[in-house]
């Protein structure tokens, strides 16, 4: 589109936002953009409509059709309301839970959402203040609601906010409801169709009582009570990174029996500007810097963090030299699942009807452990809604032990249906105490896992390709990998190719193709080599990125081999990156 045509388009759209139905604050913000000689903000705010995708909304806050604001949130909620009344037409009363995080405008958006639901005759349970995303999922199930919404942009930068939609099982929405909701949201063509006039009689405020029920259920996950009693004074540094975990996570740790929780006072302050970090993401080492400094000051045993909506977990442990090192997402899954499988076996709780879940891009070493423990493992697509879908399908048939993904999310329970750092941090502290009782620190325990089941090292790389040309480049890359897949990866023959778009698995050696049993298709390619090397390629569904997930294997004959095997793995990863041009 030529610049003049684009400018006319955004100007015409902006002028609509100066009309009746939009408040004075919006009028002022739009007028400022229209009167600015630099049209950048105007174009960015109006060149398209913020899309309600399969996960909901996420975007920069501000006035405009491409921004998170009262009206885009309102249209999403009105469309959602319209669909709920169709999907649950047989119910006398439809009810939903609404929660929010600490971000700027999150409470405002949550109250708008609650008001619109109520204006549509839907009963709303609105949390009194910010709460972790997993507690909202818990509340849907606990209260027997049909749906829920959490206002959060997870660990995105402070300029962002988001809107995540959930179904009656407490999980994020999947087919067919996701596309049906999108259709109804897209049918909302004007602000006049949004019912903003709340019905207070339909809104119930919830809080402390739900907290107590949630924490009580989480406590039932503990498997090592005697060990915790013995090591109750384990030094645990915890930071919520200004987010929603600041109350419930320390409370849960105390509930488990831990008495020495060390805070990072500056980061205990809820603040949507996240003033002490560049990014409030526990995957990023810099986000853990203040907590690590506190750990060094106090000689702590373990450092843990949650992201702003308290669904992701960050973990830092001491290595053999006493230095604090960030545990990556794959290692977090290994530690959790190895403990849950091993401890259940020790306690005689395994009946042969248990299972775990991981995503397809998460380390294959988890399957090795599950096979050794004779526990069924299911692979699913990236995203916790797919883990929740497996739990839903197997409800009442098999017992769920745990599941997670490499992007620092874990779920140890089935009474929540999204990743949960409240339970995860409590269990990770228990694991640290369990290891200590065996005379090990967490790093030594991780090495023991590698010694017993085989060494694995993973790395994730994201290539950012912005704009129209970037999107075309990503499409071309995926097409090239499909048409001309690599025959070898750093000298190792590719033996298996999995294409989750066609759901075909190719056995390169046998020259055969078989269909894969998955609930949907996804634009993911995977290449497996006989030596255990695995490369996954996946365009991001929400960002202008193409992601590569690399995994290489090694063998340790003794604990003393770790450094050499780790160094060899780093060389392999570097060679793969060079081969793929990443």
- Catalytic site positions: 154
**Interatomic CA distance for residues 510 and 565, integer angstroms:** 32
Burial 160-175 (b: 16+ CB within 10 A, else e): bbbbbbbbbbbbbbbe
CA distance 193 to 186: 12
Residue 112 has which token pair?
């708008």
- For 235, residues 6+ apart whose C-beta sits below 8 A from its C-beta are 260, 262, 295, 298, 299, 300, 301, 302
- Torsional class of 322: left (φ above 0), alpha (ψ -120 to 50), beta (otherwise): left
What token pair was written down for 43?
């174009």
- The pair of structure tokens assigned to 56 is 């909901």
- The dihedral built from the CA positions of residue 178, 182, 183 and 188, taken in this order, carries a sign that is positive
Of 538, 540, 536, 498, residue with least CA distance to 517:
498
> Both tokens of residue 54?
């399969």
Q: What residues contact residue 431 under an 8 Å CB cut-off, 6+ apart?
A: 335, 336, 339, 442, 445
Q: How far apart are CA 186 and CA 191, in angstroms?
A: 13
The separation between the first and the last C-alpha atoms of the chain, rounded to the nearest angstrom, is 32
Angle ∠(448,437,414) on CA atoms, nearest 5: 75
Asked whether 204 and 231 are in contact (CB, 8 A), the reply is no
The residues near 15 (Cβ < 8 Å, ≥ 6 apart) are 34
Those residues with Cβ within 8 angstroms of residue 525's Cβ, 6 or more apart along the chain or in another chain: 478, 481, 482, 485, 497, 498, 499, 500, 501, 536, 537, 538
Which burial class, exposed, middle or buried, applies to 575 when counting CB atoms under 10 A from its CB (0-12, 13-18, 19+)?
middle
Q: Which pairing describes strands 525-529 and 492-499: parallel, antiparallel, or unpaired?
A: antiparallel
Which residues make beta-bridge pairs with 458? 551
176: cis peptide before it, omega within 30°? Answer: yes
The tokens for 483 are 């048409």
Dihedral of alpha carbons 461, 466, 471, 477, sign: negative
Q: Are strands 545-554 and 534-539 parallel, antiparallel or unpaired?
A: antiparallel
């Amino acid at each position: 589109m030529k610049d003049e045509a684009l400018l006319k388009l955004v100007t015409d759209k902006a002028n609509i936002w100066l009309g009746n139905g939009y408040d004075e604050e919006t009028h002022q913000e739009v007028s400022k953009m229209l009167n600015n000689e630099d049209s950048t903000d105007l174009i960015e705010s109006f060149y398209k409509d913020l899309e309600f995708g399969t996960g909901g909304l996420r975007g920069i806050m501000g006035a405009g059709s491409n921004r998170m604001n009262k009206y885009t949130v309102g249209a999403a909620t009105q469309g959602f309301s319209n669909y709920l009344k169709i999907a649950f037409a047989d119910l006398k009363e439809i009810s939903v839970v609404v929660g929010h995080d600490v971000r700027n405008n999150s409470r405002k958006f949550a109250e708008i959402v609650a008001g619109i639901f109520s204006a549509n005759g839907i009963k709303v349970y609105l949390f009194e203040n910010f709460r972790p995303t997993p507690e909202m999922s818990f509340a849907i199930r606990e209260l027997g609601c049909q749906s829920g919404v959490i206002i959060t942009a997870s660990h995105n930068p402070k300029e962002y906010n988001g809107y995540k939609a959930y179904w009656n099982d407490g999980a994020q929405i999947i087919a067919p409801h996701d596309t049906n909701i999108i259709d109804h949201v897209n049918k909302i063509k004007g602000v006049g169709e949004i019912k903003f006039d709340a019905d207070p009689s339909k809104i119930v405020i919830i809080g402390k009582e739900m907290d107590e029920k949630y924490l009580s259920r989480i406590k039932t996950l503990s498997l090592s009570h005697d060990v915790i009693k013995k090591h109750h004074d384990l030094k645990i540094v915890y930071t919520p990174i200004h987010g929603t975990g600041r109350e419930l996570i320390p409370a849960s740790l105390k509930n488990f029996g831990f008495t020495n929780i060390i805070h990072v006072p500056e980061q205990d302050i809820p603040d949507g500007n996240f003033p002490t970090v560049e990014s409030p993401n526990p995957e990023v080492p810099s986000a853990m810097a203040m907590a690590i400094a506190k750990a060094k000051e106090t000689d702590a045993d373990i450092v843990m963090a949650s992201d702003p909506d308290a669904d992701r977990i960050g973990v830092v442990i001491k290595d053999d030299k006493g230095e604090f090192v960030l545990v990556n997402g794959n290692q977090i899954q290994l530690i959790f699942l190895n403990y849950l499988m091993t401890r259940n076996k020790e306690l005689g709780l395994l009946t042969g009807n248990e299972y775990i879940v991981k995503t397809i891009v998460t380390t294959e070493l988890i399957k090795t452990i599950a096979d050794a423990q004779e526990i069924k493992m299911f692979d699913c697509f990236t995203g916790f809604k797919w883990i929740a879908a497996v739990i839903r399908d197997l409800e009442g048939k098999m017992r769920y032990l745990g599941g997670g993904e490499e992007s620092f999310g874990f779920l140890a329970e089935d009474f929540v249906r999204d990743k949960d750092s409240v339970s995860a941090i409590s269990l990770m502290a228990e694991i640290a105490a369990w290891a200590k009782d065996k005379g090990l620190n967490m790093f030594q325990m991780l090495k023991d896992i590698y010694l017993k089941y085989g060494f694995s090292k993973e790395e994730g790389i994201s290539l950012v390709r912005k704009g129209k040309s970037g999107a075309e480049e990503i499409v071309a890359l995926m097409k090239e990998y499909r048409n001309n897949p690599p025959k070898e990866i750093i000298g190792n023959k590719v033996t298996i190719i999995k294409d989750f778009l066609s759901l075909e698995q190719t056995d390169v050696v046998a020259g055969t193709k078989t269909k894969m049993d998955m609930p949907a298709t996804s634009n993911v390619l995977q290449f497996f080599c006989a030596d255990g090397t695995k490369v996954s390629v996946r365009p991001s569904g929400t960002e202008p990125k193409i992601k590569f997930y690399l995994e290489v294997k090694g063998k340790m004959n003794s604990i003393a081999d770790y450094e050499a095997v780790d160094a060899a793995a780093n060389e392999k990863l570097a060679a793969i990156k060079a081969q793929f041009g990443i």
